[in-house]
């Protein structure tokens, strides 16, 4: 949802944004092979693939450079979001550690109000171990409501545009 909203905010047409949005899901296809957050979650690998795609589209004289660039940004947004939710091999194979950024801000309300912030960069050695099964939440309550709130302005804008066209 994040890349879709970002694309529509910079005036990318809704249908084009939806097609690019699907590219943001590509890194999680590794779970189908029972290995999650593997080399598909490496920005280095993603850049190599994107540069190869750009070269191929140039050689074939296809005019889709913008799609490749927007697709790269969509996939990169997935990697950055994952970086804040668990260990991610973002710089593999150049850096042998998975990274996890933990950030938080807590407000204490009481006799002496205070704010406590934390920012940690954790790392662990990269290991790509297959697993036997994976329970992957397709959505959570928090994610669902956040997506709905983000999507509402886009839907309202599309509805208003359709309404205006129908009146003309």
Cβ burial, residue 110 (10 Å; 0-12/13-18/19+):
exposed
pLDDT at 119: 97
pLDDT at 82: 94
The mean per-residue pLDDT over the stretch 38-50 comes to: 94
In angstroms, rounded to a whole number, what is the distance separating the alpha carbons of residues 121 and 55? 35
Least confident range of 60-64, 77-81, 138-142: 138-142
pLDDT at 124: 97
List pLDDT tens digits, range 97-137. 999 999 999 999 998 999 999 999 999 999 888 888 877 77
In angstroms, rounded to a whole number, what is the distance separating the alpha carbons of residues 96 and 112? 44
In this prediction the pTM is 0.82
Query: What secondary structure letter does DSSP report for 28?
Result: G
pLDDT at 134: 77
Cβ burial, residue 131 (10 Å; 0-12/13-18/19+):
exposed
Query: What secondary structure letter does DSSP report for 105?
Result: E
Of 31, 6, 32, the closest CA to residue 21 belongs to: 6
List pLDDT tens digits, range 73-89. 999 999 999 999 999 99
Q: Is the pLDDT of residue 90 over 90?
A: yes
């Amino acid at each position: 949802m994040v890349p879709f909203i970002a694309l529509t905010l910079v005036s990318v047409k809704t249908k084009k944004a939806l097609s690019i949005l699907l590219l943001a899901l590509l890194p999680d296809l590794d779970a189908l092979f029972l290995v999650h957050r593997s080399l598909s979650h490496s920005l280095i690998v993603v850049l190599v693939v994107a540069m190869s795609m750009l070269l191929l589209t140039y050689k074939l004289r296809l005019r889709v450079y913008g799609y490749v660039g927007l697709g790269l940004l969509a996939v990169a947004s997935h990697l950055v979001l994952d970086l804040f939710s668990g260990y991610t091999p973002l710089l593999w194979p150049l850096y042998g550690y998975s990274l996890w950024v933990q950030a938080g801000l807590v407000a204490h309300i009481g006799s002496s109000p205070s704010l406590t912030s934390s920012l940690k960069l954790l790392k662990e050695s990269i290991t790509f171990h297959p697993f036997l099964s994976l329970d992957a939440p397709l959505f959570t309550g928090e994610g669902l409501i956040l997506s709905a709130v983000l999507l509402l302005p886009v839907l309202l804008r599309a509805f208003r545009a359709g309404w205006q066209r129908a009146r003309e």
